[in-house]
Amino acid sequence: MATSFKALNVNDSQRSQTKLHEAIPVTGTILSGTYTDQNIKNYTHGMFQSVYDYPYLSSSANHIIDLTAAWATDSPLSSSLNVTLRNKKNDVYNEMAQMLSGYNSTGAINKLDISGNFSSNLQVDKMEEVLVLNFARLLTKDEIQPSATGFSMTLGVSASFNNPFTKTLTVYDKDGTNVKTNSPAGEFNVLYATGSGFPADSERPCGLLFYQAGVAILTSSVFKSEYVEDCFMDATDGLTIDDMFVSSSISGSCTALRHRIQNISFNNTTELNSTIYFCRLNSTEFNYSSNPTYLSSSQIRVKTLRTDNPVSYVTTVGLYSEDNALLAVGKVSEPIRKSPGTETTFRVRLDY
């Protein structure tokens, strides 16, 4: 335990931040096919579906993504007859909207808007029926990296359910470096779509990507003729996406979506915040040790004559609070000699 302390002033510390990025690929085989859906978990509440990288009952399974489908309360589909889970689909939409797009000045929930302008009254930009991909923190870490080439998802958009990838649509973050900040969930941007049957020079917005929340929202229209062609979402090619929203459970819509995802890729971000402390030992400081073994018969062991300069060897640097409570300890790789003839600065870095 230290018996003498030296106070650090404002010039003795500096803060820095480092961002580490990792490429994350999520293949379509994980989403549908590899484990014959043993890695897909459905819940009794029926409000979303979870995807794992191994069969979810395995101890080594990692949760990677949640999927759900929802519509706005005033969606034309919501007023259809014989709707399956109408209220739950409304509730999921409202939950996502209040978290991602917030409230307007009257206290009403803003609708999810394909332009990113949640306060707009332009009805054509409002996403009434949406498919939601909520990525686990295991994948996104602190955030999805905002980058013009950072996020990409390939969808199979052939009309046939059994051969979905004869036509593909690429959904990507076109302008990730110029993020939007008018969301209570943090930074986000508009997702665009382009692909076969959909000319690149007429690409159009198709959803939203929320970087810190790790959430991608797609309009269900990506599977309609306004993007490529009307896609059937069941093995008998009898249900369009609108039919699926009305007559199927949320889990059923999620399963249909998984079947049409070829791959997803993005870069995540891990923020390393650091504080660097410069512990300066002047020539007259810390030349004696507080270790009891430093003395022998009340004499300093390292001195042969009384006139010799004291010598100590620094092995540890401790950082203390104002009331002298030890907070952090740093060890040097080998003892550092300290005497009145030397001055030393130890650079201690704390990452958090």
User: Taking Cα atoms as reference points, which of 82, 101, 84 lies closest to residue 188?
Assistant: 101
Report residue 221: phi and psi, to 5°: -65, -15
The yes-or-no verdict on residue 2 having pLDDT over 80 is no
Regarding predicted confidence, which is higher, 20 or 299?
Answer: 20
**Weakest mean pLDDT among 26-30, 121-125, 276-280, 294-298:** 294-298
Neighbouring C-alpha atoms within 13 Å toward the C-beta of 28: 15
Q: 222 falls in which pLDDT band (50, 70, 90)?
A: very high
Q: Taking 80 as the threshold, does the pLDDT of residue 194 lie above it? A: yes
Q: Does the structure show a pLDDT above 80 at 294?
A: no
As a whole-number percent, the residues of the chain with pLDDT over 90 amount to 70
First to last CA, the chain: 25
Task: Compute and round to an integer the Cα radius of gyration of the chain.
Answer: 30
- Kindly state the percentage of the chain with pLDDT values over 70: 93
Please answer whether residues 68 and 129 qualify as being in contact, where contact means their C-beta atoms are separated by less than 8 angstroms.
no
Cβ atoms within 10 Å of 22's Cβ, excluding its own: 13
Phi, psi for 11 (deg, rounded to 5) = -85, -5
Q: Is 97 helix (H, G, I), strand (E, B) or coil?
A: helix
Q: Quick one: angle between helices 86-100 and 250-259, nearest 10?
A: 70
State the pLDDT at residue 302. Answer: 60
Report the range of poorest mean pLDDT among 120-129, 164-173, 239-248, 305-314.
305-314
pLDDT at 301 over 80: no
Query: How does pLDDT run across 71-103, given as a tens digit for each residue?
Result: 999 999 988 888 989 999 999 999 999 999 999
State yes or no: pLDDT of 148 exceeds 90. Answer: no
Rounded Cα gap, residues 135 and 64, in angstroms = 6
The domain limits of the chain are 19-271, 282-351
| pLDDT number for residue 174 | 86
pLDDT score of 1 more than 60: no
- Evaluate if residue 149 carries a pLDDT over 80: no
Residue 201 has pLDDT above 80, yes or no: no
pLDDT digits (tens, 9 = 90+) for 20-71: 999 999 998 899 877 888 999 999 999 999 999 999 999 999 999 999 999 9
More confidently predicted of 298 and 75:
75
> Could you tell me if 216 and 68 are in contact, meaning their C-beta atoms sit under 8 angstroms apart?
no
Instruction: Indicate whether 198 pLDDT > 70.
Output: no
Q: So what's the pLDDT on residue 147?
A: 84
d(CA 280, CA 344): 6
For residue 343, the model assigns a pLDDT of 92
pLDDT reported for residue 299: 63
Residue 228: per-residue pLDDT = 87
Closest CA to 326 of 4, 12, 15, 2: 2
Residue pLDDT, tens place only, 234-293 = 999 999 999 999 999 999 999 999 999 999 999 999 999 999 999 999 998 888 776 777
Instruction: Give the model's pLDDT for residue 141.
Output: 95
User: Tell me, what's the pLDDT at 274?
Assistant: 93
Strand partners, 18: 272
Residue 226 has pLDDT above 90, yes or no: no
Mean of per-residue pLDDT scores for the chain: 90
Cβ neighbours for 23, distance < 8 A, ≥ 6 positions apart = 265, 266, 267
